Amino acid sequence: MNPHVRQILQVILGVIIGALVTLLAVRYREYRHLVRTSYEDWNKLNVVLDLVEKNYVDTLNREKMTDEAIAAALASLDPHSVYLPPVDLKESEEDLSGEFDGIGIQFNVPNDTAIVLEVIPGGPSEKVGLRKGDRLLKVDDKVIAGVRFPQDSMVRRMRGPAGTKVTVTVGRKKEVIPFVITRAAIPVHSVDAAFMLNTSVGYIRLSKFSVSTYKECKDAAQDLLRQGMSHLILDLRDNTGGYMDQSLLLADEFLSKGDTVVYIEGRHRDREVYQADGKGLLQDMDLTVLINENSASASEIFAGAIQDNDRGLVMGRRSFGKGLVQEPFYFTDGSGIRLTVARYYTPSGRCIQKPYDSEEEYLYDIYNRYAEGEVFSADLVKLDSSDVHYTRGGRQVFGGGGIMPDVYVPMDTTRVSAFYLACNEKATQMRFASEVFDRYSTRLQAVDSYPAMDRFLAGLNLRDSFRDFALKRDGISCTEEEWEESAPYLVPQLHALIARFSRLGENAFYKYYLPVDTTVEQALKML
């Protein structure tokens, strides 16, 4: 072969070999990180974590990564499957456990200073001398007044293991008093109020379904029966739920033997039907149940059972629509998850859970009910006409999420004046009530009957005293016409806030406030 040709062929071969080597190198770089994965056995997730562990540039925070990965995974399932770190889990369970360790007070923050509303009888705070109306200034060395300190952070600082001490400094009139308080177990009540609205109608307001709810309600009902109750108004508005078994026990008090209360069913949970045993003490009690858009979960189970069995009248506005059953799973580090394992269904077969296909729509559902006018008009309520069910008596009810009441009561906005809104904006009413307490604390705390409270309130001349306070403290003025427009709604609210500081407590608050509650007003009219 011609030497010149051989040389050319060698060059060409070299180029080809070089190209092949380059191509192989590129392919190697492309495929050297190709790892075999599978979705079937969670292999891909484990592979990713292993790769991060072996290759990531910086030191890893395993705790943070693990918690966030779990939270993200559960968030992709449904709105109520959640991961709870140790602190959140402890707080969540304390709220429903029937007791917690703390100092034994209830307080509110009308502006930027917390005011004691209730000192639990026999609790640690009462033993050392804290009183209603005291302003909370410091917890240990931490100033919490006048600095817009978060309310949940105040609670955390005052709670702690039983037997430990905390110093709470309060303002009382012109005095500043430090109290050293030994924390102890504090009972948590779910019945906010229980009293007679008139000679035959009893009223019970239930805030949650905690571990003690059934006993509390039963005790309250028996007390009202002794006072002559023949009709009960059970107020579940703003009741966000809690333990299902407490809802079942309470419904059992009103239903006949064999009546279905609720049933649950899920992919890995066979259908379980819960029925009344017929031993309830209130089976013959006339019943009205009040609900609204914040009534959820266990409160919806109760309302649905009463409605589907035609056992009583459900009034108010469409409930929240939380019908997913969470089962808790606990971890050795104090954390845990609540995993949705089934759905709740009312006796007629309605699924309580509202749709959650769109996360945004679910999160803003309550806001949208206001924005779209549902809370102001029954005609604007979105019912799923394709999901029809029937009560025991043959009445038509609809699924699609939540419990639609038998009698819809829209939110009342007719009494809201500019003066009232301005006062609400600055919490003028609550601060006025606190000033009344400061001025008349001895007299007010001695009041132990409603006739005595009526006489005390009549002597306050709220028409002038509240208007003067609003003008001097908050720069809010009103004409005579504006006062006349506001007074029918504003004065009962002021009476309620002031009466709460007396020995009559929360019962007095609702006793004075309910006469201007349009839902209760409508319920009484329908009797």
Which residues carry out catalysis? 297, 308, 322
Rounded to the nearest angstrom, the gap between the alpha carbon of residue 344 and the centroid of all alpha carbons in its chain is 19
Structural tokens at position 157: 């600082």
Is 478 exposed, middle or buried (CB count within 10 Å of its CB: 0-12, 13-18, 19+)?
Answer: buried
For 237-266, letters b (16+ CB in 10 Å) and e give bbbbbbbbebbbbbbbbbbeeebbbbbbee
| Cβ contact 309:253 at 8 Å | no
- Pairing relation of β-strands 269-275 and 260-266? antiparallel
- Pairing relation of β-strands 184-187 and 191-196? unpaired
E strands, 383-513, in order: 388-390, 396-398, 407-408
All residues at 6 or more sequence positions from 507 whose CB lies less than 8 Å from its CB, including other chains: 193, 194, 195
E strands, 321-377, in order: 324-330, 336-345
Main-chain dihedrals φ then ψ at residue 171, nearest 5 degrees: -105, 125
| Cβ contact 251:265 at 8 Å | no
| Cβ contact 98:186 at 8 Å | no
324 forms beta bridges with: 343
d(CA 154, CA 145): 10
E strands, 144-243, in order: 165-172, 175-182, 184-187, 191-196, 201-206, 231-235
